[in-house]
Amino acid sequence: MPLSHNASAPDRGARQPKIAIAIDLYDWHARDLASAFARAGADSAPIRLAQCGFDTGRPGGLVIPGFGSDLPDAVFVRAIGSGTFESVTLRLGVLHSLAALGVKVVNSARAVEICVDKAATSFALARRGLPTPATWTVQSEQAARAIVRREAARGPLVLKPLFGAQGFGLKLIRREDDLPPFDEAEGVYYLQRFVAVERNGFRDIRLFVSHGKVIAAMTRNAEHWITNVKLGARPEWFEPDAEIIDLGLRAAEAAGAEFAGVDIIRDARDAPQILEVNSMPGWRGLQRVAPFSIADRLAQDLLARIAGAGAEATG
């Protein structure tokens, strides 16, 4: 089944939509998106959710720097930004409130909440009956040790930071003594069955989903079992078959994500297993091997959704 590379062109005669791009840093991705929205006929402006807030005396009750008393037509959430529990909760509250006011938020605050929490992602995938490695998440070292004693005889586990990304902080667990102390684990042990298989190196698949279609895919090839491009893995363009496309779409749907990076690996039986769903995926490595602009497609897809919603409202 071919990937879907094309999207409908925006209506150039309509008012230019105003898009807020939620960022942490004005990096390559932010610049790529801003250029893509301009090519698609939309105005865009970067915002930092750390600078947004509530003011019940204002129209809409929100403060979105750069938009004055107005609200954007849509928000593309590229990053939430690090912070305290309270500050991150406030930023997610801003996104929830924007959606309640009719602003298109991609991805939604709920999708972000599910995807940044690996335990919630694993739960969402398993609840839908999707193939994903067995996972355990506990809040005590004693409970984690009990899991390792019971499960390690069947093969190693992987300890992952609950809120980690880009392959950092992963640790292979073969015995109890491999577990870090409670404080080093940030009070949470997220343990997942290790399913990677060495086949002349290690390899997994990253699917890029946008609004119900797989628009791009790559394999990530590495000598080490951690296959993130930022850690040195080599990307290669990949044409997934119908089974892999279906798994990617169902995984994104399970997490409630309208665009997503879905990571899939084949286990020792060559069966696909969904590892993660990322609601704020980067695409710089994928862009190196893609035959089209991924940012253009993301911008066009979002603008098409805005236009469709507007047509429904006036129809």
124 and 231 housed in the same domain:
yes
The domain in which residue 306 lies consists of 18-108+294-314
Question: What is the predicted pLDDT for the residue at 273?
Answer: 97
189 and 201 housed in the same domain:
no
* Count of structural domains within the chain: 3
Decide if pLDDT at 159 tops 60.
yes
The answer to whether position 72 is within a domain reads yes
The answer to whether position 227 is within a domain reads yes
Give the phi and the psi of residue 306 in degrees, each rounded to 5. -65, -45
> CB 208: neighbour CB atoms within 10 A?
26
Q: Taking residues 213-227, report their average pLDDT.
A: 93
166 and 127 housed in the same domain:
no
The answer to whether position 125 is within a domain reads yes
Q: Taking residues 105-127, report their average pLDDT.
A: 97
The more confidently predicted of residues 199 and 216 is 216
180 and 244 housed in the same domain:
no
The answer to whether position 1 is within a domain reads no
176 and 224 housed in the same domain:
no
What is the side-by-side strand order in the sheet with 157-160? Answer: 135-138, 189-193, 157-160, 171-173
122 and 242 housed in the same domain:
yes
> CB 60: neighbour CB atoms within 10 A?
19
Question: What is the predicted pLDDT for the residue at 256?
Answer: 98
Tokens 């909760």, residue located: 89
Decide if pLDDT at 135 tops 80.
yes
pLDDT in tens, 58-88: 988 999 999 988 999 999 999 999 899 999 9
114 in Cβ contact with 124 (< 8 Å): yes
The more confidently predicted of residues 139 and 69 is 139
Task: Check the CA dihedral 206-75-95-99 and report its sign.
Answer: negative
216 and 277 housed in the same domain:
yes
CATH number of the domain residue 307 falls in: 3.40.50.20
The answer to whether position 151 is within a domain reads yes
The answer to whether position 2 is within a domain reads no
Q: Which amino acid is at 17?
A: P
CATH number of the domain residue 241 falls in: 3.30.470.20
Distance, CA of 90 to CA of 101 (rounded, Å): 16
Question: What is the chain's mean pLDDT, rounded?
Answer: 91
26 and 88 housed in the same domain:
yes
227 and 151 housed in the same domain:
no
Task: Tell me the range of 2-16, 158-172, 247-261 where mean pLDDT is highest.
Answer: 247-261
23 in Cβ contact with 78 (< 8 Å): yes
Question: What is the predicted pLDDT for the residue at 13?
Answer: 46
pLDDT band with cut points at 50, 70 and 90 for residue 15: confident
Q: Taking residues 132-152, report their average pLDDT.
A: 96
